[in-house]
Amino acid sequence: MSKILVFGHQNPDTDAIGAAIAFAHLQKELGKDTEAVALGTPNEETQFALSHFELEAPRVIEHIEAGSEVMLVDHNEFQQSVEGIAEAAILAVVDHHRIANFETANPLYYRAEPVGCTSTIVLKLYREANVEIPAAIAGIMLSAIVSDTLLFKSPTCTDEDIAAAKELAAIANVDLDAYGLDMLKAGTNLTTKTAAELLDLDAKSFPMGGKNIRIGQVNTVDLNEVFSRQEELETAMKAENQAKGYDLYLLVVTDILNSNSELLVIGEPTAPVEAAFNVVLTANRAFLPGVVSRKKQVVPQLTESFNN
């Protein structure tokens, strides 16, 4: 029988890969024949974490065969998952996002909690199963929490995430603040990437009000460094819209040091975007003070605006 594949969403971030590695390890300890895989290569931030804790990056898959047994982490929406997911046998989901565009033919284990990171939930599952966490697994889970909460600056961060990070840092034997800042900075090296690569670092698709919306997010320590390439980015966004059938492409560029973002928007309609954030787009841009979380501060506001 084939292995049970465990994976996060497309364009995987550190939680998508870290939670997959950790949950696959837990399931193995509980007697399941699992393998952590990924729906894309690790970004620089994730690779920094994998290298630090001497873990191999999961192999990348692009599709699965009908009837394949899978477990999903850090996502549930089919448009964010692997090709063939609708015909797969989904055995489990562990997630911290909204539930949408998801159904199964058979009962499954589903664990979803409103915390800042899927790996925070996975830690609970280790404790509930009384399974010891190896230092390297603790390290990649810690990395996921640091990434998803922007070292606890994101409004999605909860007290549970902070407590989990401290516990995991102790197991992994790292200084939480020093390691976390080094990891986040590793993910802001953008100068060597093409505009298309920047857009694809962390992008997800969302159906809203009959429109197909693509939302990408890039972390930086200098907004000007990214927007000096605005013309190049706009050209790439237009090409993506045309090639993939997106009505609208939004790029959220987040300053991780000052906890603000600037929005770049290409496509139509833009009126719901302006209404969602109470802004006026100027040269396709708008400043979003205090906005750092796509999940909590961007997607819900856009969804409400497009559906009204």
Indicate the annotated binding residues for Mn(2+).
Answer: 9, 13, 15, 74, 96, 148
Neighbour-count burial for 185-205, b at 16+ CB within 10 Å, e otherwise: bbbbebeebebeebbbbbbbe
The tokens of 274 are what? Answer: 């302006």
Give the distance from CA 185 to its chain's centroid: 17
Residue positions in the annotated binding site?
Answer: 9, 13, 15, 74, 96, 148
- Residue 27: strand, helix, or coil: helix
The neighbour count for residue 229, using CB atoms within 10 Å, is 17
CA distance 268 to 266: 7
DSSP H or E segment with residue 224: helix 223-227
The tokens of 217 are what? Answer: 């997010």
